[in-house]
Amino acid sequence: MLKLYNTLSHQTEEFKPINPPHVGIYSCGPTVYDYQHIGHIRRYVGDDILIRVLKFNKFDIKHVMNITDVGHLTSDADTGEDKMEKGAKKFGKSVWDLAKMFENQFKDSCRELNVELPKDLMHATDYIKEQIELIKILEEKKFTYKTKDGIYFDTSKFKDYFKLSGQNPKELKAGARVEVVEGKRNVSDFALWKFSPQNEKRQMEWESPWGVGFPGWHIECSAMSMKALGENFDIHTGGIDHINIHHTNEIAQSEAATGKSFVNYWVHHNFLTVDGQKMSKSLGNTYTVGDVIKKGFDPLALRYLYLQTHYRQEMNFTWEALEAAQTALNRLRKEVASFDEPKIGCAEYEKEFLEAVNDDLNMPKALSVVWEVLASSYPKTAKAETLFKFDEILGLNLKDSRQILESQKKEIPKEVKKLLEEREVLRKAKKYEEADKIRNKIIEMGFKVEDR
Ligand code: AMP
Ligand code: ZN
């Protein structure tokens, strides 16, 4: 029996899908305006574990994730600059090229960490029509009003607006930030559609029944999740910072539009910190998966490190901790590399492992079972069977342990180094075809070439 902590009910519950064995799950994806750092990636590894655990329990998963490539303002209060337009200026690119570049960086980081993403990610800009349709329904049902700068959702008309966050509206009013938008009726009201500023040409804007503009950022997740998974679906995930505003608003606008309950289980991941502070671009304390690899770490050591902390606990990142995770992972690989062909597994440990992962994804406990298996008196054949089964969830490529350890030992031969240099010269001269030929030669010699 799988148990999950549900933010909506504020307790750990037995997971019961709407239509077993099918499970619909929606993850709020990245806003692709800058690099995704290892704080962001912790969340996606968390989602990956959740999905693998669901699959392990024989559920049939439909996983949907969006890419926010539009309309996400720097402030939660519907003010400030558009993150995408700001990023475009910073990197000297069009917003469209910016989105492509950082979507690729996101996907690469996930691939390095064995995070299985849905094949087709849903881009907010591809579903503007659906977002407009949803706003039209909310308008017909009289949940909206118009201000000078957009169409807003009137949260006072939606019963139970605070059910997800458990916030007290009175306290919210007292602590409200000053940057209130002119014409907003309640502090918690939020934009569904924003008008383009009259004196400024935005790179991204669309026609709508209310005038040229762009969607508020919450509406995309309601429109896309319901399009892909139906008006009521099983699981929705995100970071804990999404609870008070983004997910609260998703619930309000979705349930106001359909009159149905939107999502049954809300799963929220805690933050990654550095020296006790949130890892974030504004604090300048971020590292990417690329940085981790450049420092000579196996990206899966980072995955191992993530698994050592429960997803609802804050996790503090240090390079020392990553070193220790790398050492542990290598030790694990060394053990596994000495295994024989798998046969019957170690039943009691398999049971213990399943209990741990089914107990609200208790991965630190699950990892400790891994080491118990290794220390046990079972024959290596049985250990192999059991650990390879565990690895369906751990995602540490344990079956490849031998090759991975070998490749760590392998020196890059002089010929290969020379070819790499030649290729670099060709690439700089933009002679990509010739450069690719050299790349293929290097691959034939048993090496992987990756440009970061
Ligand atoms: P940002 O790109 O900073 O707007 O972050 C986008 C989302 O990624 C946030 O809403 C969080 O859910 C998640 N996130 C950002 N920073 C961290 C962090 N340090 N640890 C975990 N998740 C994070
Ligand atoms: Zn979202």
Task: State how far Cα 224 lies from the chain centre.
Answer: 16
Tell which atom from ligand 1 comes closest to the C-alpha of 286: 19
pLDDT at 79 over 80: no
d(CA 94, CA 77): 26
- Of 365, 364, 370, 394, nearest to 384 (Cα)? 370
Determine the distance separating the centroid of ligand 2 and the alpha carbon of 47, expressed in angstroms: 14
Is the CB of residue 163 below 6 angstroms from any atom belonging to ligand 1? Answer: no
Q: Is 400 in the pocket of ligand 1 (CB under 6 A)?
A: no
**What local confidence, expressed as pLDDT, does residue 73 receive?**
64
- Owner of token pair 């400024």: 200
DSSP notation for 266-297: EEEEPPEEETTEE--GGGT----HHHHHHTT-
Strands 150-153 and 190-195 turn out to be antiparallel
Ligand 1 within 6 A of CB of 43: yes
pLDDT category of residue 68 using cuts at 50, 70 and 90? very high
- Pocket flag, ligand 1, residue 86 (CB < 6 Å): no
Task: Give the Å distance between the CA of 29 and the centre of ligand 2.
Answer: 7
Instruction: Say how far apart CA 14 and CA 22 lie, in whole Å.
Output: 16
DSSP 8-state class, residue 221: H
Q: Which ligand places an atom closest to the C-alpha of 236?
A: 2
Single-letter residue type at 29: G
Per-residue pLDDT, 100: 93
Bond before 21 cis per omega within 30 degrees: yes
Q: Which residues surround ligand 2, an ion (CB under 5 A)?
A: 28, 221
Average pLDDT over residues 2-27: 98
Q: Where are the alpha helices (DSSP H) in 92-152?
A: 95-112, 128-140
Q: Among residues 28, 4, 444, which one has the least CA distance to residue 220?
A: 28
Residue range 113-125: average pLDDT? Answer: 95
Would you say the CB of residue 39 lies under 6 angstroms from ligand 1?
yes
What the block records as the tokens of 191 is 């934009």
CA 347-305-104 angle, 5° bins = 110
Least confident among 76-90, 373-387, 430-444: 76-90
Per DSSP, the three-state class of 6 is strand
With a 6 Å cutoff on the Cβ, whether 272 touches ligand 1 is: yes
pLDDT per residue as tens digits for the range 337-375: 998 887 888 999 999 999 999 999 999 999 999 999 999
In angstroms, rounded to a whole number, what is the distance separating the alpha carbons of residues 10 and 265? 10
Mean pLDDT of the 92-121 span: 94
Q: What whole-number distance in Å separates Cα of residue 134 and Cα of residue 57?
A: 35
pLDDT at position 176, please? 58
* Residue minimizing CA distance to atom 5 of ligand 1: 40
Domain 273-408, CATH number (from 1.10.1740.10, 3.40.50.920, 1.20.120.640, 1.10.579.10) = 1.20.120.640
Cβ distance 96 to 128 under 8 Å?
A: no
**Torsion sign over Cα 332, 36, 76, 275:** positive
Contact 213, 193 (CB under 8 A): yes
Q: Is the CB of 247 under 6 A from ligand 1?
A: no
Q: Find out whether the beta carbon of 36 lies less than 6 Å from any atom of ligand 1.
A: no
**Pairing state of beta strands 122-123 and 144-146?**
unpaired
Cα–Cα distance for residue pair 268/248, rounded to 1 Å: 13
pTM score, whole prediction: 0.89
Residue with CA closest to ligand 1 atom 12:
239
Walk across the sheet containing 60-67 and list its strands.
Answer: 122-123, 60-67, 22-27, 233-239, 263-269
The CA distance from 445 to 442, in Å, is 5
Is residue 30 over pLDDT 70?
A: yes
Q: Is the distance from CB of 34 to CB of 95 less than 8 angstroms? A: no
- Name the closest ligand to CA 247: 2
The reported pLDDT for the residue numbered 451 is 75
Q: Is 7 strand, coil or helix?
A: coil
**Mean pLDDT, rounded, for 380-389:** 95
Average pLDDT over residues 83-91: 87
Please provide the DSSP assignment of 340-404 as one string: -S--S--HHHHHHHHHHHHBT--HHHHHHHHHHHHHSSS-HHHHHHHHHHHHHHH---GGGHHHH
Mutate to test the pocket of ligand 1, among 31, 40, 240, 243 (most ligand atoms within 8 A of CB): 40
Which ligand 1 atom is the nearest neighbour of the CA of 36?
2
pLDDT at 225: 98
Cβ atoms of 220 and 247 within 8 Å: the answer is: no
pLDDT for the residue numbered 275: 82
Share the mean pLDDT of the chain: 92
CB 42 near ligand 1, within 6 Å: yes
**CATH number for the domain running over 3-269:** 3.40.50.620
Report the distance separating Cα 223 and Cα 245, nearest Å: 17
pLDDT of residue 293: 93
Beta carbon of 239 within 6 Å of any ligand 1 atom: yes
Lowest-pLDDT range of 103-117, 166-180, 254-268: 166-180
Of 226-240, 241-255, 291-305, 414-428, the least confident: 414-428
Task: Please name the amino acid found at residue 269.
Answer: H
Predicted confidence band of residue 108 (pLDDT cuts 50, 70, 90): very high
Confidence of residue 442 (pLDDT cuts 50, 70, 90): confident
Sole residue written with tokens 């790499």: 420
306 ligand 1 Cβ < 6 A? no
Mutate to test the pocket of ligand 1, among 27, 35, 271, 274 (most ligand atoms within 8 A of CB): 271
Give the pLDDT score at 217.
83
CB 30 within 8 A of CB 109: no
Q: Which residues are bridge partners to 13 per DSSP?
A: 4
Q: Which residue lies with its CA nearest to atom 14 of ligand 1? A: 40
What order of strands is seen across the sheet that includes strand 272-274? Answer: 277-278, 272-274, 315-317
pLDDT tops 50 at residue 178: no
CA distances from 106 to 38, 122, 351, 394 (A): 10, 14, 35, 20
Structure tokens at 198: 């009259």
